[in-house]
């Protein structure tokens, strides 16, 4: 007889009423699985140390991304409970998780594996700085908001110089975030690829580009602003100076998120982003 799955609860302490929601779900789960801990925290390493098979994350999409980044090489499948706005990645409401709880914590067929990016920044003789990106890394012009110039390489081969407001490099999971608003393609989360989307490029020939997931993308600042910044998932940032080099490659581990079995695969795209819906006439 298989042992019950081990579940750990994490809640975003900045969300209102998260403590009450965590207590409700933990009480519901206690008789259905082995609850190995809970915390109002965004640090998933606590759950790894407790041997969790699933981490139930209470918050929203940003909370889910924070927890996934914190796990590093020790990725555990995440169940996102939306206490925020859109809930594109955090697919479950509280009621929906209770309704489908047994499947969500035990059915591995519901797990989707998604690319993570490793972003390395090198400046002269300084030690390199590394970040993990779940959605995207964005080089943004920043103040005084003059056009910046970035040299772009792929696998060591010079590709082009991008002039404009910056560049987005994102995963398929992140294709529906900043990249989409900048004109990038929508991609299925499990596609093995990396997307490059120029921000307001000076040349009309600089269109979004999709490359193989194993590609190594090199970016060097040739002429940037005082406020030019590299932004990771909208959560971490680092200033970029002339001559700084950024290397972006696939991280060795994918992150894992559990799909809500109550809805079809494309539910979020069609109902939350309204993709493919006809215009509304009044």
Domains along the chain with CATH numbers? 6-114+254-271 (3.40.50.10330), 117-250 (2.60.200.30)
Q: Give the separation between CA 276 and CA 282, rounded to whole angstroms.
A: 19
Of 26-35, 140-149, 269-278, the poorest mean pLDDT is in 269-278
Q: Give the separation between CA 118 and CA 138, rounded to whole angstroms.
A: 13
Q: Give the separation between CA 155 and CA 145, rounded to whole angstroms.
A: 30
- The question of whether 61 is a catalytic residue gets the answer yes
- Residue 227 tokens read as 């406020």
Q: Calculate the average pLDDT of the chain.
A: 95
pLDDT tens, residue by residue, 99-147 = 999 999 999 999 999 999 999 999 987 889 999 999 999 999 999 999 9
- Residue 191 tokens read as 């596609």
Q: Please identify which of the residues 61, 165, 244, 254 carries the catalytic annotation.
A: 61
What integer pLDDT is reported at residue 224 of this predicted model?
Answer: 97
CB atoms within 10 A of CB 185: 16
What integer pLDDT is reported at residue 94 of this predicted model?
Answer: 97
With a cut of 90, say whether residue 180 has pLDDT above it.
yes
């Amino acid at each position: 007889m298989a042992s019950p799955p081990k579940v750990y609860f994490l809640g975003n302490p900045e969300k209102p009423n998260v403590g009450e929601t965590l207590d409700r779900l933990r009480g519901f789960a206690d008789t259905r699985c082995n609850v190995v801990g809970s915390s109002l925290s965004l640090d998933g390493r606590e759950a790894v140390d407790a041997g969790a098979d699933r981490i139930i994350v209470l918050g929203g999409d940003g909370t889910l991304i924070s927890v996934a980044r914190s796990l590093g090489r020790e990725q555990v499948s995440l169940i996102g409970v939306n206490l925020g706005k859109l809930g594109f990645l955090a697919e479950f409401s509280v009621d929906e998780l209770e309704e489908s709880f047994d499947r969500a914590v035990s059915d591995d067929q519901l797990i989707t594996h998604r690319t993570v990016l490793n972003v390395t920044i090198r400046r002269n003789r300084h030690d390199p700085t590394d970040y993990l990106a779940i959605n995207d890394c964005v080089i943004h012009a920043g103040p005084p908001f003059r056009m910046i110039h970035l040299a772009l390489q792929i696998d060591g081969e010079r590709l082009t110089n991008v002039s404009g407001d910056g560049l987005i490099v994102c995963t398929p999971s992140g294709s529906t975030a900043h990249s989409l608003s900048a004109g990038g393609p929508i991609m299925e989360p499990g596609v093995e690829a990396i997307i490059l989307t120029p921000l307001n490029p000076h040349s009309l020939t600089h269109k979004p580009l999709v490359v193989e997931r194993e590609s190594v993308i090199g970016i060097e600042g040739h002429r940037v602003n005082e406020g030019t910044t590299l932004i990771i998932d909208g959560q971490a940032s680092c200033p970029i100076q002339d001559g700084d080099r950024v290397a972006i490659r696939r991280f060795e581990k994918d992150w894992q998120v559990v799909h809500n079995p109550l809805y079809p695969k494309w539910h979020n795209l069609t109902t939350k982003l309204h993709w493919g819906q006809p215009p509304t006439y009044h």
